Amino acid sequence: MARSYHATTVVGAPVATLINGASDFLGINATSAEAAAYFIKLWWSGNTNVAPTVGTTVPKLTLAVPTTGLNFHSNFPLNNGGLVYWWATANAADSDATALTAGGSVLTVTFD
C-alpha cells in the first residue's frame, strides 16, 4: 500500500533526512521557491543502516526540480535496499552540499 511523506525545504546546510518506513520509491511532487532549479537526492542504506553524509555519500537518485516544480510518478517502484534518506542541494553534483537560497519548497514523496 502506497504511503506519502511530506516535507518543506529550508535554507542552511543540507541534512540527510530519513523517510521513515520507506523502501520503495514511487514518485514525488515538489514545488519550487528557488530562483533556479534545485536537486532532491535520494539514498538507500542497503544493509548498513548508516545515515549518509551530504557532500560525501553519493546519492542513488538525483531529481532536478525546475522553478516550475516537479511531478514524477512511476508504475514500477525503485528499491535499492534498506532505508531511504533525502536531502536538497542547490547543485546537481554528487559531492554538492550547497544550501538552498530561499527554502520553503514543499515536497511529497510517495513510497511503499
Q: What is the pLDDT of residues 55-99, one digit of tens each?
A: 999 999 999 999 999 999 999 999 999 999 999 999 999 999 999
CATH number, domain with residue 74: 2.60.120
Q: Are the C-beta atoms of residues 97 and 38 closer than 8 Å to each other?
A: no
Nearest Cα residue to 57 out of 78, 33, 41: 41
The whole model's pTM is what? 0.95
Q: What is the pLDDT of residues 57-69, one digit of tens each?
A: 999 999 999 999 9
pLDDT at 21 over 90: no
Domain that holds residue 89: 3-111
| pLDDT on residue 34 | 97
Number of domains within the chain: 1
- Which residues partner with 102 through β-bridges? none
d(CA 64, CA 92): 8
For residue 20, the model assigns a pLDDT of 87
